[in-house]
Amino acid sequence: MTTVDPTTLAVVRGRLEQLVDEMDTVFERMAFSPVISDALDRANGVYRPGTGSMIVQGERGLPIFVGVMQFAVRAVAEHVESPAEGDVYLLNDPYLGGTHIMDVKMVRPFFHEGKLLCFLANTGHWPDLGGRVPGGFAAQASDVYQEGLRLPPVPIVSGGVLRQDIVDILKFNSRIPEDIEGDIDAQVSALRVGERRLAELLDEYGVGVIEQCWAELEERAAREMRSYLSELPDGDYEFVEEMDNDGLVDEPLEIRVRASVRGDEMTVDFSGSSPPCLGPMNSVEAATVSSAVVAIKHIFPDIALNSGMFEPLNLVIPEDTFLNAAVPRPVAGCAAETSQRIITAVMGALAQAAPERVPAGSCATINNLSMGGQDEVGDPYVMYVFLGGGYGGNRAGDGLSNGCSLMSSARTQSIEVTEQRYPVRFNRYALREGSAGAGRYRGGFGVDYEFTFTGGIARASLLGDQACNAPRGVAGGLPGSVAEPYFVLGGEKVVLPMRSKGENVELRHGDRVRLRTPGGGGWGPPVDRPDADIAADVCGGYLTEAEVARDYQGRPS
């Protein structure tokens, strides 16, 4: 077993985490696209050569990319015969360690004394890479080619020099080429900073000590995971989650999970889930693996972020399900929607084994809204926004209101930045009163979000979910509210045929978009909620007297 001085291990671990946090900061500060610079839809990490195993990822990076970038780094290692110092490779192929096409990975080999020691990698959500709708969230796409430009590993930097030919290809395939160019510079710069900081760490401690620390940290994460799993009673725990539809066929998609605990190991089996679907709600293997692990980390948050946490886990993801899509299945909803329902399905299964650790059902949609066209002066734009919602109540307290998505740590773009960049004016951005599921501990409240289109040309697309299936209550708690997205076109309310999904909705001056996100489910019988807590919710405007009478059995407030 690898051993290293505990003080040295703690310092090196802290320096590694600080290194990737600095990469995150450089990326977001330099990026042109608000989805990265303001909403923080990005991540950075350090990975082993060959296997792509994660050495470290920053605490501020998106959790969904924990497993995904391991697959992406492995794809680069397999596709590039002789990576060279100063090279950077770009890829966004969903089936080669990706998510959806808009999540672009860059991978930089790191050499020490002429030897390939590791890879630095990052991911950022680019707001547009072509496709049939601005922003790429084509709710009615029937193959991946309609979702945008798909790239295998290609050199974006060779020998330290930016490949302008590759940059031009990317810009020519985007509706907003200047933003794309700025995001490229930001992403490359973040990798350069990481390389510099890692070199400083190696100069200080030497490669032998650093590699020992990497091995020890991975071993500790594996032991931590095994320790937590051993606390669960042996057994098979099953759960079924339903998604609204795939955007083309109005039938629910089932995510079937069986979590089998045996001692200090666990198998998570998705056999029996719905077959590959026609629309863009398919998931790829990398995203499904990562989502399952994120669910487990929600339950056991203390486990360190490195590849050791995967070691006691066995994931079974059959190719005949929509959770292991192959070319050319469309996958635009993979990272932001299907991934969240995978998380709630795994958490639903493990709630049976560890009910004290798992909350009631949470908002598991971010209502991906993309809108593009030309503003009042004729300049092109693509706007992409996403929202949070209510978390489920738990046996320790009420659920969080307006929490970020379960697979993410990104935040909703600020109103000020959005109004400055795009032809919109906000009418409402507030907690969605009455959306929380009642319970001894109620769920958190969702969000009520509305803006008016102020001019120019716009086509809007929506790729969401959870408009049919509410976040569940547990232990006698009531469910939260479902999502309620709609448009107001020419003064008339329009609900999309697929409710949570639709594309190329033409907006005219004065039209409105309103997105109401789910609240979390309640935990425990509502009758057990203290009078003082009910009175506080009424006083705060979160509940009305009528809602109290309906959900809390008419108790006085």
Residue-wise pLDDT tens digits, 364-423 = 999 999 999 999 899 999 999 999 999 999 999 999 999 998 887 888 999 999 999 999
Q: How confident is the model at residue 84 (pLDDT cuts 50, 70, 90)?
A: very high
Per-domain residue ranges of the chain: 6-222, 359-557
Q: Which residue has the higher pLDDT, 457 or 217?
A: 217
Does 299 have pLDDT greater than 70?
yes
Q: Quick one: pLDDT at residue 556?
A: 45
Residue-wise pLDDT tens digits, 93-136 = 999 988 999 999 999 999 999 999 999 999 999 999 999 999 99
Residue-wise pLDDT tens digits, 322-368 = 999 999 999 999 988 999 999 999 999 999 999 999 999 999 999 99
Q: What is the mean pLDDT of the chain?
A: 95
% of the chain surpassing 70 pLDDT: 99
Q: How confident is the model at residue 456 (pLDDT cuts 50, 70, 90)?
A: confident
State whether residue 548 is helix, strand or coil: helix
| Mean pLDDT of the region 62-86 | 92
Residue-wise pLDDT tens digits, 393-404 = 999 999 999 999
Residue-wise pLDDT tens digits, 136-178 = 999 999 999 999 999 999 999 999 999 999 999 999 999 999 9
Residue-wise pLDDT tens digits, 264-277 = 999 999 999 999 99
Q: Quick one: pLDDT at residue 526?
A: 96
Q: Quick one: pLDDT at residue 554?
A: 54
Which residues on adjacent β-strands are paired with residue 369? 385, 462
What distance in Å separates the CA atoms of residue 491 and residue 202, rounded to the nearest whole number?
A: 63
| Mean pLDDT of the region 298-314 | 93
Which residue's structure tokens are 């060279």? 84
Please give the full DSSP string across 196-245, using - where no structure is assigned. Answer: HHHHHHHHHH-HHHHHHHHHHHHHHHHHHHHHHHHHSPSEEEEEEEEES-
Does 555 have pLDDT greater than 60?
no
Does 59 have pLDDT greater than 90?
no
The reply to whether omega before 328 is within 30° of 0 (cis) is: yes
Q: Quick one: pLDDT at residue 200?
A: 97
Closest CA to 151 of 193, 104, 113: 104
Q: Which residue has the higher pLDDT, 457 or 428?
A: 428
**CA triple 213-219-225, angle to 5 deg:** 135
What six digits make up the tokens of 245? 């539809």
Does 1 have pLDDT greater than 80?
no
Beta-carbon contacts of residue 188 (< 8 Å; ≥ 6 apart): 88, 106, 156, 157, 162
